[in-house]
Amino acid sequence: MEISVSGHLRKKNGLFYCALSYKDKDGKRKQTLRGTGLPIKNNLRNAEGILKKYIANLENELNGKDTAVTVSNPDDILFSDYMLRWLESVKPTIEATTYQGYCYSVKTVIVPYFEKKGVLLKELEPCHIQGFYDDTLIEGKSANTVKHFNANISAALKKARISKLITGNPLENI
C-alpha cells in the first residue's frame, strides 16, 4: 500500500511553512512542518511550488522510491531541483572524488540557498546568482570556493540551455 501525503501552506512569523500530513504503514497519522524561508509578501506561487516538491519528495521517500522529482512541465522546475537533476546526470561522466566535491557544493550550499528563494529555473536572473555569490562570501567562504560553486552553476546552466529549458544563460550577464 502506497503512502499518500497531503499538505497545505501555513503562515507563521511572516513566513510560509509547508504543513505535511500522512498515515504511516501502521495507520497512525503523522504531521511535519517544513520551512520555506520565503516571506509571505509576493511569494505565494513560489511557496506553492516548494510545497508540491516537499509532498512529492516525502511520498517518494516514504514509499522507498528515488527522491529525485521529475517534472513533466519544465516551466515548473525550481532552480534548486534542476541543480540536483544536473548533479545526477553528470555522475557517470566524472571521477568519484570530483562527484563528491560537486555533491558538497550542490547539496549543502547551492540547493539550500536557492530552495529558500523558491526561484524557478526559467525565472533565474543574474541578480539571483550574484546575490548567492555575495551572501556566500559574507558567510565566510573563500573566493576560490565561490569559484567552484560558479563552475557547478555554469555547467548546469549550459546544459539547461542546450536542453532548451532556458532561452539564455543568466551567467553570461555577470
Which tens digits make up the pLDDT trace of 8-37?
Answer: 999 988 888 889 999 888 888 989 888 777
Burial class (CB in 10 A: 0-12, 13-18, 19+), 161: middle
Fold held by 74-173 = DNA polymerase; domain 1 (1.10.150)
User: For residue 73, what pLDDT is reported?
Assistant: 52
- pTM (predicted TM-score): 0.59
Confidence of residue 74 (pLDDT cuts 50, 70, 90): low
Q: Going by C-beta distance under 8 Å and a sequence separation of 6 or more, which residues neighbour residue 7?
A: 18, 19, 20, 21, 51, 54, 55
Structural contact between residues 50 and 36, judged by C-beta atoms closer than 8 angstroms: yes
Q: Cell 519528495 identifies what position? A: 57
- Dihedral in degrees, nearest 10, Cα atoms 154, 146, 118, 116: 160
135 has pLDDT over 80? yes
Cα–Cα distance between 45 and 54 in angstroms, integer?
14
With H, G, I as helix, E, B as strand and everything else as coil, classify residue 68.
Answer: coil
Q: Cell 539564455 identifies what position? A: 168
Q: Which tens digit of pLDDT belongs to each residue from 81-95?
A: 999 999 988 888 888
Helix ranges (DSSP H) in 24-78 = 44-62
User: For residue 92, what pLDDT is reported?
Assistant: 82
Q: Which tens digit of pLDDT belongs to each residue from 57-69?
A: 788 778 776 544 4
